[in-house]
Structure 1
Amino acid sequence: MEPLVQMQVTQFECGGFVIGLTFCHSICDGLGAAQFLNAVGELGRGLKQPGVAPVWHRDFFPPSDHQLESVTPLPMLPPPMPGYKLEHANIDISMDQINQLKQQFNESTGLNSSAFEIVAASFWSHRTKAINFEKNTEVKLVFFANCRQMLDPPLPKGFYGNCFFPVTITSSSDWVETASDVDVLKLVQEAKTKLAVEFGKFMEGDHMRNGEDPFAPLSYTTLFISEWGRLGFNQIDYGWGPPVHVVPIQGSSIIPTG
């Protein structure tokens, strides 16, 4: 049985330390994990109770009995991932580069953009060009979005379970390779505006009826991007101040790949 939480603390001779964490994703999502670690830090600093009380509230998801009527069989799983020996890498992108792309997008469209949108669109474009897929291959960009406020009523503060939904952008490899950064970014923003509608369809069980599983395993033609900057890990304080560096470890068990 998979442990709910595992933590390892390694102290260095300089006095610094690193905390490694793995958790059961069935219990909490990224926001929930950060909430848990912040609570550990608050209790470790002597607080009598966490600043945000944990809320279970798992009954928000509607019963699935009515969804099983007229179910369309889900498609076959995608082909297995190529057996490439992938290497873990850290790449720093300066804010000057991001701000330059933001300015370019604003001058072309009159619209604003976030750092995540800029990075996601740029990575998708460059990855597609680098792989050089066969002509007109269907490629996807996928990232998860928090849906706590999209429920009616919204989930209460302190809910630490899973409540996210994938934003999926689909296009042909030819288009992504030749499109400008501005056009790819516009496609990302358009997909985000449809999140509430797509999440509503999922809650109503449309995916069960039409055979489209938004959480299906991903193939090599899909770029999956996860944003960690706003989850709350950079605010955790065990008594020595916030962390100097936060990074996810390499591990396929937390990424929905085929």
Structure 2
Amino acid sequence: MGNKNPASVIREALAKALVFYYPFAGRLKEGPARKLMVDCSGEGVLFIEAEADVTLEQFGVALQPPFPCREELLYDVPGSSGILDSPLFLIQVTRLLCGGFILAVRFNHTMCDGFGYAQFMTTLSEMTNGASVPSIFPVWQRELLCAREVPYVTCTHHEYDEVADTNGKIFTLDDMEHRSFFFGPTQISALRRFLPTHLKSCATFEVLTAGLWRCRTIAIQPNLEDDMRLMIIVNAHSKFKPMIPVGYYGNMFGFPAAISKAQDICNKPLGYVLELVMKAKSEVTEEYMRSITDLMVIRGRPLFTTVGSFMVSDLTWFGLLELDFGWGKSVYAGPNHHIAGFYTRYINHKGESGILVSVWLPAIAMKRFVEELGNMLTQDIDDHVIHEDVPLISKYNLPAMIR
């Protein structure tokens, strides 16, 4: 792209992409029985162009969450963060002194899931490189997953159990510490050592999740008889017959909950925890998805259970790290700030490819978590780099509406 302004290029491509993803330029309304609907009003999305007087190198050797100055890198435009009658996308391009740039995005999760978001970002990258049409055409068809005429719940949904916090185990953000941990082939192999022969070939995501759930449970020190929940975000596109059409970008995921007593997670073999993870993932079927859709209607969009819960999501297969907006592939592509345990593809400062996992815990629990994880891996696994504060002066243009 030479000396072109990345903000201008991405802004122009965004306008083209929204022709195909026009609902994103609308606004959410609430209809009868609190049903959410999109008014395709063409009001646009928010776009911010910013400049920062720093280089990429000043963010540290390891580019990973938590990032300094995240509020400046994705400015929360006043009045823009609501669910209803607010922009559905906010995109900020921040140019750096070194010639690089940071592309940060916030989107309304009621419009799409991570799979749909990745599909839209792929289209955006294609448009920046001169494409006139997307390689995958978007499919709206939200009627594919509507509540049945007579809604009824046919599956057990522990993720929506109503649980009282009797032991004060719902963490507040006041004393939370956010750290990222890198897991390469060596660390994954170390976890597999704890598994029986018939489980050693299980998926990396499942093995890693079992190990993290155990370490996290030990770290937060619950009562031994407490029920602990692991909620796994599972892509359900392939669970339907016939399969969901290619290009569908609506929410199509479940997050089934594995439940076990704290003492069993901490004391039983890791294979026990792994089998809980595998069983929970297998619960997501077409009937499960239709049951949960009916549950939303019957119970009025309940919140998921937070007491004793740990939520994880595998983003490694989304392909975000491979996207090229005209200046080469990204050095980091993933969440900036989120309390869920997101797994993203990552290449560390040694050039080693692996998985980066974000962990949120109270400071004292984080210390125990690091110690327990280190004990499991029998080596120094803390690949986290503490970032020094970076002076950042951003010059914001007025938020622009892309139509």
Same fold (TM over 0.5): yes
Partner of 1:95: 185
What letter corresponds to residue 147 of structure 1 in structure 2? A
Q: After the TM superposition, which parts of structure 1 deviate over 6 Å for at least 4 consecutive aligned residues?
A: 211-215
Aligned twin of 1:164: 253
**TM-score of the superposed pair, with normalisation by structure 1:** 0.84
Cα distance in 1 between the residues matched to 2:215 and 2:117: 32
Q: Which of 49, 58, 76 lines up with 2:133 in the alignment?
A: 49
Larger radius of gyration: 2
**Corresponding letter in the other structure for 1:217:** F
Q: Aligned residues, how many? A: 246
Mapped to 2, the partners of 1:95 and 1:185 lie a distance apart of 18
2:151 aligned partner: 67
- Residue equivalent to 1:32: 116
CA contact (8 A) 1:138 1:173 kept: yes
TM-score calculated relative to the size of structure 2: 0.55
| 8 A Cα contact 1:108 1:182, kept in partner | no
- Structure 1 residue 206, shift from structure 2 partner: 9.1
Go from structure 1 to structure 2 and tell me whether the alpha carbon gap of 1:207 and 1:176 turns closer, same or farther (over 3 Å shift): farther
Shift in Å at residue 94 of structure 1?
Answer: 2.4
Say what the alpha-carbon RMSD is for the aligned residues: 2.9
Structure having the higher strand fraction is 2
Distance 1:174 1:22 in 2: 39
Deviates more, 1:46-55 or 1:214-223: 214-223
The CA distance in 2 between the partners of 1:93 and 1:135, in whole Å, is 29
How far does the alpha carbon of each residue in 1:119-168 deviate from its partner, in whole angstroms, 9 at most, with x for none? 11111101111111113100011111111111221111111110001121
1:217 to 301, 304, 320: 304
Report the CA distance between 1:113 and its aligned residue.
1.4
Identity %: 25
Residue 116 of structure 1: how far off its partner (Å): 1.1
1-structure distance, mates of 2:100, 2:227 = 47
1:55-204 equivalences under 5 Å are 55-67=139-151, 76=162, 78-79=164-165, 81-83=170-172, 84-102=174-192, 104-105=194-195, 108-109=197-198, 112-196=201-285, 199-204=286-291
Distance in 2 of aligned mates of 1:34 and 1:40: 10
Distance in 2 (alpha carbons) for counterparts of 1:191 and 1:68: 21
Deviation at 1:20, TM superposition (A): 0.5
After superposition, the C-alpha distances for 1:180-228 in whole angstroms (9 at most, x for unaligned) are: 22221122112222322xx51441469649x899974232401111222
Residue in 1 that maps onto 2:316: 229
Distance 1:38 1:202, change over 3 A: closer
Task: Give the whole-Å Cα distance in 2 for the aligned partners of 1:100 and 1:68.
Answer: 45
SS of equivalent to 1:161: coil
Q: Does structure 2 retain, via aligned residues, the 8 Å contact 1:147–1:165?
A: yes
